[in-house]
Amino acid sequence: MTDFVVDLLKNKIPPFYYYHNYEHTLYVVKKANEIGKKENCTEDELDLVTAAALWHDTGFIKTYFNHEEESCALAAKYLPQFGYRREDIDKICGMIMATKIPQSPKNKLEQIVADADLEYLATDCAAEKAGHLFSEWKRLDPSLTDEECRRRELAFLKAHHYFTQFCKEKKEPLKLAYLDRLIKDRV
């Protein structure tokens, strides 16, 4: 299934999606599994989390805005051929929808995928990934300025919080340190 989704993203996502691409998807899959293990998920739960992380941004092949709904439609279309039942697909779609900003996960698995999607905010490459996202936005809206991108990033970081216990304890302090650096750089 991973190869299928990666091929789909490689072949159908516009090349100027510098952030929302197959590499981001594989990163989210990896982080969802790491967080899921820290949150004591069963093997069955990890399988569902992996599927949700894998499909969470596939909707970008059709639309940029509200892509999560399209991701769910694509997951519902293709997941049965990989052995997933309707009830599993419903759970996977719940996890995909939990990545929609502002995030509002309703259960542990949704929290895991939501946190995995934005785990990068607590890494040394947060600024680099933000730059990729800004480049993507600027291709979609050439009138967007660097200052507006930075303003959006600061507002987003101030409003964001992690949901899982693991990310609250281990990632939140690192994300807040990144936010502090951004604020100090602006002064």
CATH of the domain at 44: 1.10.3210.10
User: What pLDDT score does 157 carry?
Assistant: 97
- Its domain, for residue 14, covers 2-186
User: What pLDDT score does 180 carry?
Assistant: 96
Q: How far apart are the first and last CA of the chain?
A: 47
User: What pLDDT score does 173 carry?
Assistant: 97
Query: What's the structural domain count of the chain?
Result: 1
Q: How far apart are CA 69 and CA 62, in angstroms?
A: 11
Answering whether pTM is above 0.85, one says yes
pLDDT one-digit tens code per residue, 133-178: 999 999 999 999 999 999 999 999 999 999 999 999 999 999 999 9
pLDDT of residue 70 exceeding 90, the answer is: yes
